[in-house]
Structure 1
Amino acid sequence: MAVLKVKFTKSKRDKLAQVLWILNWVSVVTGIILLSLGLFLKVEIAKRQELLSDRQLQVVPDMLIAVGLIACIINLLGGKICHDCVDTAKYLRWKLLMLPYTICTFFFTFCILVGALMCYNMRGQLESSLLAGLNDAIRYYKDTDTPGRCFLKRTVDVLQMQFQCCGSVDFRDWFQIQWISNRYLDMSHKEVVRLRSNVEGKYLVDAVPFSCCNPSSPRPCIQQQVTNSSAHFNYDYQREELNVWRRGCCQALMEYYSQILQSVGLTVLLIWLFEQLSVLTGVRYLQTAMDNVLRNGDLDSESDGWLLENSLAETARSNFNIIKNLGKCNRVDATDDDDPNIDVPRTSQGDAGNLPAKLIPATS
């Protein structure tokens, strides 16, 4: 029994073809939108590639770009096919391509859904990549003379000022590393010697870079001895609001990228839900209705269209059997030639010449 069978007259088939022609051109526009969203996301991730430890994050934007390009190609072809379906004579030129086109549209629609879900599932991978990348960037902050790391200081400073953040998780991350280069330390100074003898010979201080300072603070920035209340006049570390950014850069970047990913994912999901599913459903109805018209022979007669020719269970069972038996038709059992239990068909003397030599019974 066909699933969701609908009866179409010739006028309804023509109207369906015209609507699908319009929807395919709309799909070309949405394909350009998908391509643009993929390029935008790719550029935003590439901007801070130095702060990301995982280089595989470009998979999602690359997929959106590929889906956008395929959408433009498929829907341009689909628009031409649907436009010619109004004229049955022209449809005959596309008849052999209708079923492959419907299958390609189905898989393309599935790819759009996968792209939307990947945008939402990317958050966890992005967060772990940002956390590891920011920790490495802070660790190498002082290496301004090392090739490959000389621009990390500028990158981190610009990031902290632009996103109003400090450190990876919070400003205390700067207390756990030596972020001041040895070339700017007076090794003969007793304070430097005392601090360098604390942890693995590193110069660790409760201070943060200037880029952590909040310019809206009413007092000059306290970036040295941040946790020492007695080192500054009228300053209480435990009670008074600090004049450095409290928010970590990982949180700030995650909020920024989460907004982008949610917007991109929602746009792709809406395109899949309201536009691509409509095209896929309409194309399937048009293909089955036109095929039934050609079977009837009367081009102006009514015809049935459906989504599935059989029930869902029967369709799944038949496809499973096709996949299961795929390749068995060409498989030859090598032991069959020597099996004595194989019955040799009896033939007359006149038919013996038409049989293979191994099947002709021996004569005395």
Structure 2
Amino acid sequence: MVVMKMKFPFQKRVKLAQGLWILSWCATVAGAITFTLGCILKTELRRRAEVMDNTDIHIVPNTLMIVGLASLGINYFSSKICQDALDAGRFPRWKNFLKPYFAVSCFFTSLMLLGVIMSYAMKGSLESSLKVGLRNGIRFYKDTDTPGRCFQKQNIDRLQMEFQCCGNNDFRDWFEVQWISNRYLDFSSKEVKDRIKSNVDGRYLLDGVPFSCCNPSSPRPCIQYQLTNNSAHYNYEYQTEELNIYLRGCREALVNYYMGLMNTIGGGVLSVFILQGSVLVSLRLLQTSMEAVAGKENTEIETEGYLLEKSVKDTIMEYIDPVLKFLLLTNQVEEGTPAAASATPAAT
């Protein structure tokens, strides 16, 4: 069953070729934009690599960069085909090229759609990566003298100030770790000794947060220490006071930031996908409408174009069958090789 069959007089074929040429160059520009968007997302993810536990999320920008580059090549050849489309003598040279061209184009266009879907579906992976990464970042905050962690404090402080957040889930995460280095503690002080002894792990824990958690828009001077001690501060109630530190956790802030970025990019790439799909459909109609005039003197006759000569299922199987036969033949040769080798000594 022929899919999307249409009649094409000569003038309609001319307009289709001209419109497709313009559409191809628009899609080429869109491919470059897709590649750029992938690079931007990749850069933003690498900026916060120290608070991410894995790199699974990088599959989204990597996919966008690949399909962006592929789109440049696909649409370049599409524009060249359009230039030869109305020349019955030059168009046949593309005949053997078009079948693999459409297969490759459909693959990368589908990959583009996959990139759009992943940009909306990677929230869980991003959140779990940030959860572990931020927990480790807070734990190593004090290790400014440890190689490989020298800038951890600086990175966390800048992160909290830039995104106006505090801790992993919230500011209480700082209560569970020793974030002040031992080199800045006076171990002759009774207070320091008592705090260390009161902790099973021998850590110096306190109900305080780093300065980067302070909210500069608060009218009250920043309260960093003894946040849960009402008597330590004048006119202060821990349960009812609106704290003058950031209450939002950095994981929530980063997830919202990256998901907003990826959703925006996903919407843009979806538009590129629709444009790329339009190019492939138009090119296929132009190709099939031109096949009827190939080698004929009268090129101004009315022809018929179609999207698929057979049904969708039959067309997919037409592409898959040669691959399956090749794989089956390869497996048979590999299985038969040891038997042939072992039979040779017996014959001699």
Deviation at 1:153, TM superposition (A): 0.3
Give TM-score scaled by structure 1 length.
Answer: 0.86
CA distance in 2, matches of 1:121, 1:2: 36
The alignment of Structure 1 onto Structure 2 pairs a total of residues equal to: 333
Q: How does 1:245-264 map to 2 (within 5 A)?
A: 245-264=246-265
**CA offsets per residue over residues 131-167 of structure 1, 9 Å max, x none?**
1111000000000100000100011111111111110
Q: How does 1:189-204 map to 2 (within 5 A)?
A: 189-199=189-199, 200-204=201-205
Secondary structure at the aligned position of 2:304 is classed as: strand
Q: Is the 8 A contact 1:99 1:287 kept in 2?
A: no
> Identity of paired residues, percent?
49
**CA offsets per residue over residues 43-86 of structure 1, 9 Å max, x none?**
11111111111123322212211211111122111101111112
Matched, 1:187 2:183: no
CA distance in 1, matches of 2:313, 2:150: 63
Match of 2:266 in 1: 265
Which AA in structure 1 matches 2:40?
F
Matched, 1:156 2:174: no
Structure 1's 64 and 148: CA in aligned 2 closer, same or farther, altered over 3 A? Answer: same
Deviation at 1:294, TM superposition (A): 2.7
Q: How does 1:4-19 map to 2 (within 5 A)?
A: 4-19=4-19
For CA contacts below 8 A with separation 6 or more, give which structure has more relative contact order.
2
Secondary structure at the aligned position of 2:90 is classed as: helix
Q: Is the 8 A contact 1:102 1:283 kept in 2?
A: no
Deviation at 1:318, TM superposition (A): 5.2
Match of 1:277 in 2: 277
Deviation at 1:314, TM superposition (A): 4.0
**CA offsets per residue over residues 190-212 of structure 1, 9 Å max, x none?**
11111111221111100101111
Consecutive unaligned residues in structure 2, runs of 5 or more: 337-348
Which AA in structure 2 matches 1:198?
S
Consecutive unaligned residues in structure 1, runs of 5 or more: 335-364
Q: Is the 8 A contact 2:31 2:272 kept in 1?
A: no
Match of 1:339 in 2: none
Structure 1's 308 and 295: CA in aligned 2 closer, same or farther, altered over 3 A? Answer: farther
Structure 1's 69 and 313: CA in aligned 2 closer, same or farther, altered over 3 A? Answer: closer
Match of 2:36 in 1: 36
Give TM-score scaled by structure 2 length.
Answer: 0.90
CA distance in 1, matches of 2:327, 2:207: 70
Deviation at 1:328, TM superposition (A): 6.2
**CA offsets per residue over residues 91-130 of structure 1, 9 Å max, x none?**
1222222222222221221111111112112221111111
Secondary structure at the aligned position of 1:61 is classed as: helix
CA distance in 2, matches of 1:51, 1:300: 65
Structure 1's 298 and 329: CA in aligned 2 closer, same or farther, altered over 3 A? Answer: farther
Matched, 1:51 2:51: yes
CA distance in 1, matches of 2:137, 2:329: 60
Structure 1's 46 and 321: CA in aligned 2 closer, same or farther, altered over 3 A? Answer: closer
Match of 2:61 in 1: 61
Q: Is the 8 A contact 1:28 1:72 kept in 2?
A: yes
Deviation at 1:303, TM superposition (A): 1.8
Deviation at 1:181, TM superposition (A): 0.7
Which AA in structure 2 matches 1:202?
R
